[in-house]
Amino acid sequence: MLDFLSDNPVAGFIVACEIGLWVLLGAGLTLRYLLRWRLASTLTLAAIPLLDVLLVGAVAVDLHRGAEAGGTHTLAGIYLGFSVAFGPALVRWADVRFAHRFAGGPPPVKPPKHGPERLAALWREWFRVVNAATIASVVLIGLVLLVADPAQDEVLLAGLGRPWVVVGLWLLFGPVWELPSSRQDSEEKASARSSS
């Protein structure tokens, strides 16, 4: 594993960014709820997107130096897209749980398991995936236009389809999969209201 990371500095940077995300998240929530340093907490949590900027910078530098474009370069763009799209929701998720556990906050609201509320939550999640794929595509196209040389372009452009495959699968196995169950729940509720 260490050989792979040393041979692929971008992969090592992705791993470092993922570790950095959790370290900054934990530190920010600890500062907020255990030490009650609200400003320091806010600044620490605000630093999380800087990891994404550093990742894109590392990819751009690596490509500019003439590195052979590969899957790790496209993965960095995809990682960035999903990090930006899902990051705020992840911070909110962790914040609620940390506040409940360490600061007497209210318990986390459990997501709905059925019905229209569940379907609405799945649609919101799917739109985050669309946002992630869009950001990843913009980053990869930006790398092609601004940094990569023609030999690197093909690999980066080939990576454009991957996040959109995820979008399609997420749609199919998320909101579309839930549609029949949601309709059945709505019909049962309407039937119950009309019979009472």
- All structural domains of the chain with their residue ranges: 2-195
- pLDDT value for 107: 93
- pLDDT value for 111: 85
- What are the phi and psi torsion angles at 32 (to 5°)? -75, -50
Alpha helices per DSSP H over the chain: 2-7, 9-33, 38-46, 48-64, 71-103, 115-146, 150-158, 161-171, 177-195
Instruction: Report which of residues 6 and 19 the model is more confident about.
Output: 19
Place of tokens 């949601």: 182
Q: Amino acid letter at 71?
A: G
Residue 52, pLDDT above cutoff 70: yes
How many CB atoms are closer than 10 A to CB 73? 25
* Averaged pLDDT score across all residues of the chain: 88
- pLDDT value for 13: 87
- pLDDT value for 193: 61
Please say whether the beta carbons of 139 and 80 come within 8 A.
yes
The DSSP code sequence of 19-44 is HHHHHHHHHHHHHHHTS--HHHHHHH
- pLDDT value for 97: 94
**pLDDT tens string 134-191:** 999 999 999 999 998 988 999 999 999 999 999 999 999 999 998 887 666 656 665 5
- pLDDT value for 2: 66
Token duo for residue 74: 């496209």
Find the mean pLDDT for residues 115-123. 90
**pLDDT tens string 74-108:** 988 898 899 999 999 999 999 999 999 998 999 99
Q: Amino acid letter at 102?
A: F
Residue 196, pLDDT above cutoff 90: no
- pLDDT value for 181: 74
pTM: 0.84
